[in-house]
Structure 1
Amino acid sequence: MSQSLAELITQADERGLAASALACLDRCLPLLDPAPADEALRSLWAGAARGEDGWAGRLAEAKAAVAEGGDPADDAGALVRRMLDDAPSAWAPGPLREWADACSLTALALHQGLEPASAGPPEAYRTGDTAGAGPLVTGELRRQIRVLEVLASGGAGGLRLARDISAEGQRVLRAVVSRRARSA
């Protein structure tokens, strides 16, 4: 039996927590208007790879790359920006776990907001109860779990694979946003 998302977050190390939160944030970037360049978080991914030595400086670079802008009344965009704003500059398990947990919930809630057929609180999805979750939410949950599993396995290409998983989710969300804009 595979572990729930909540269990995987609880067991993750600092690198896994940072990359998990970062992957959630990365997948949600298409909700920003205007959307930043695809590589807006590149410096923060590099910070996660370097750990404590590169984290705080890279965090500042990423915040500058995803500078304020867009419609302040846009709730989804505000939530995505808050995901980055809440990133801790300290490379420590407690703050990183809190950030990973918050990013996980926010990403699930944002996906659920784009999928009106989904019902149920995002907290329930993280413990394995996917009743009422539509395909968009289920896909996001699957990607969150996969990122944590890949990073927990300790393979050399774990961060690269986490970025690839994130890029796939970003493409899905970009398509949903584009489809909604065309039908509006």
Structure 2
Amino acid sequence: MMSATSTSLQELIDRADERALAAAGLACLDRCLPLLAPEGAEVLRPVWAAVARGDGAAWGEAVAKARVELADEGEGAAESAAPVRAMLDDAPADWTEGPLRDWTRTCSEAALGVHAALDATGTGPLHAGELQRQQAVLESAAHGPTGLRRARDLSTEGGRVLRAVVSRRARTA
């Protein structure tokens, strides 16, 4: 059975338009990207710009370019990078509601899974923080271009948190 919080997240995804869906899926990818490419956040900048403009053609081009630029990243990386690679590889080239909604749902689940796997208790503060960020991104992105700045800031913050967790684990391993 889903918790009330998970249901709220799914309801937000169900109500989102193309721009909010693209922002939400991209934010999940952006927050988890440190597992695949620790210094790769800049690669997603053109994708964020396409979302801000609501430009479907630029979206498809920017996603394709990000795939190429990150093609060699994560080879030999930890198993935790596999869902991040899948998020990038599965990003739809088409700026249409159906494919974006499906991708966003998949990214949401993958990002929550990544955070749960890195969380000491499975559903502790790291997982809870990711769930809250996802909801906040969808709520912010629902306000159009003006809310995208907040969505991007939340994504950047989440990426920093994940990098810190991974770094701490590497030092104690």
Q: So what's the TM-score if we normalise by structure 2? A: 0.90
Are 2:33 and 2:40, in contact at CA under 8 Å, matched by a contact in 1?
no
Aligned to 1:171: 160
Aligned to 2:136: 146
Matched, 1:19 2:55: no
Aligned to 2:146: 157
Residue type of the alignment partner of 1:60: A
Aligned to 2:58: 54
Aligned to 1:40: 43
Identity %: 55
Are 1:115 and 1:134, in contact at CA under 8 Å, matched by a contact in 2?
yes
> What is the number of equivalent residue pairs in this alignment?
168
Aligned to 1:123: none
Ranges in structure 2 where 5+ consecutive residues have no aligned partner: none
Are 2:30 and 2:155, in contact at CA under 8 Å, matched by a contact in 1?
yes
Q: So what's the TM-score if we normalise by structure 1? A: 0.85
Larger helix percent: 2
Matched, 1:180 2:169: yes
Residue type of the alignment partner of 1:45: W
Aligned to 1:8: 12
Residue type of the alignment partner of 1:145: Q
Aligned to 1:125: none
Are 2:140 and 2:147, in contact at CA under 8 Å, matched by a contact in 1?
yes
The C-alpha deviation readout for 1:100-153, integer Å capped at 9, x for no partner, is 0000000000000001312xxxxxxxxxxxxxx310000000000000001113
Separation (CA, whole Å) in 1 of partners of 2:9 and 2:110: 14
Separation (CA, whole Å) in 2 of partners of 1:28 and 1:59: 16
Matched, 1:97 2:86: no
13-22 or 58-67: bigger deviation? 58-67
Residue type of the alignment partner of 1:37: G
Separation (CA, whole Å) in 2 of partners of 1:49 and 1:18: 10
Are 1:25 and 1:83, in contact at CA under 8 Å, matched by a contact in 2?
yes
Residue type of the alignment partner of 1:149: E
Aligned to 1:30: 34
Are 1:27 and 1:169, in contact at CA under 8 Å, matched by a contact in 2?
yes
Q: Secondary structure at the match of 1:84?
A: helix
Q: How does 1:75-94 map onto structure 2 within 5 Å?
A: 75-94=79-98
